[in-house]
Amino acid sequence: MFDFVKNRARPEIFTLKPYVPGKPIEEVRRELGLEDVIKLASNENPLGPSPLAMEAAAASLGDLSMYPDANCWLLKHKLAAHLGADAGQILVGNGSDELLMMLAAAFINQGDQVIYGTPTFSGYEFTAKIMGADCLEIPLADFTYDLEAILAAVNERTKMIYICNPNNPTGTIVRKQGIQSFMDRVPDQVLVVFDEAYGEYAESPEFISGYQYVREGRNAIVLHTFSKIYGLAGLRIGYALTSSSIAEAVERIRDPFNVNSMAQAGARAALDDSEHLRRSQELNRQGKEYLYESLTRMGLFHVPTEANFIFLDTGRSCRQVFESLLQRGVIIRCGDVFGYPNFIRVTIGTGEQNRRFIESLTQVLRG
């Protein structure tokens, strides 16, 4: 019998690594019979969404029989005012994941090269490989993107360079001077993709957004999301700022009605709630200080972070630690999926969640 999948599927799909999400709370409750479960695995905002966003999303329910605004006109113009840009420079997608797929579909041809650091967000490899790109992974230096090594790897086939800043899973940033030096020398024919999903959490004065290079007219695009600090992960909505010509090209391959009405309404309202943004940043700052102090006291190496998670070395198999924490109703992320078999990544939660994590981790490591 003719094997249709083997003989007719795109060969690139067989090279893909399936995405491994954080384990859902409902799954842990179902499998282990636990009721009191906290999830510190997917870098979600422990405060949840802005009350304004929830009200706006709820108010949009009456319009569910109608298609959403295909062009996200209101949201694009609100983002344009927020960013000091033109609405024609903004793209809106069903999360940053869709924006990455749209970029790949618009610009990557089979045999093109893309470059990114490793470990980093898996979406770069996933979307590029589907289009037949050759993916060049440059190891991090001191848990940080090595822009000098990336620049040295650029050749005539290089189409895109992805810079995750702050980087997931390490939480590190590339400093201003390093990015400026890199952008001064990267060839014009390379599109530089700045993924700043966690940019709102960055506190260091050395953090610089890629927006500067878009405004300078460089071939750059900056990705942001409403899933993290804005707490709208369940609505799936992200946005990007780039040149109007790049945005126009990407819009040509966008699915119609790709962002639902509730997501658009929630995102617009979230932009109005600066107090919720401030509270989220302050909660993260306090949680980070507590976890730093606790992990240091426990003698555990951890990478200083500019995001809302911490990458730390448990000194033993992350899978064993993961399973033991799971039995105590605490969900974290294993580091082996990033190539670090003794590390875990933990989201910074509320004060109560952080204390529970430290108490549970202490019990696990003692046991």
pLDDT tens track for 5-56? 888 888 888 888 777 778 889 998 998 899 999 999 999 999 999 999 999 9
Question: Would you kindly state where each structural domain of the chain is located, as residue ranges?
Answer: 9-48+275-366, 51-273
Question: pTM value?
Answer: 0.95
Q: Report residue 246 CA to chain centroid gap.
A: 21
For the chain, residues with pLDDT lower than 50 are none
Residue 343, SS3? strand
Q: What is the reported pLDDT for 21?
A: 77
Phi and psi angles of residue 40, each rounded to the nearest 5 degrees, phi first: -125, 45
51-273 CATH choice from 3.40.50.300, 3.40.50.720, 3.40.640.10, 3.30.960.10: 3.40.640.10
What is each CA distance from 186 to 68, 151, 153, 161, 190, in whole angstroms? 39, 7, 11, 10, 7
User: In sequence order, what DSSP letters do the residues of 188-249 get, joined into one string?
Assistant: TTSEEEEE-TTGGG---TT---THHHHHTT-SEEEEEESSSTT--GGG--EEEEE-HHHHHH
CATH architecture of 9-48+275-366: Alpha-Beta Complex (3.90)
Tell me, yes or no, if the two domains 9-48+275-366 and 51-273 fold the same way. Answer: no
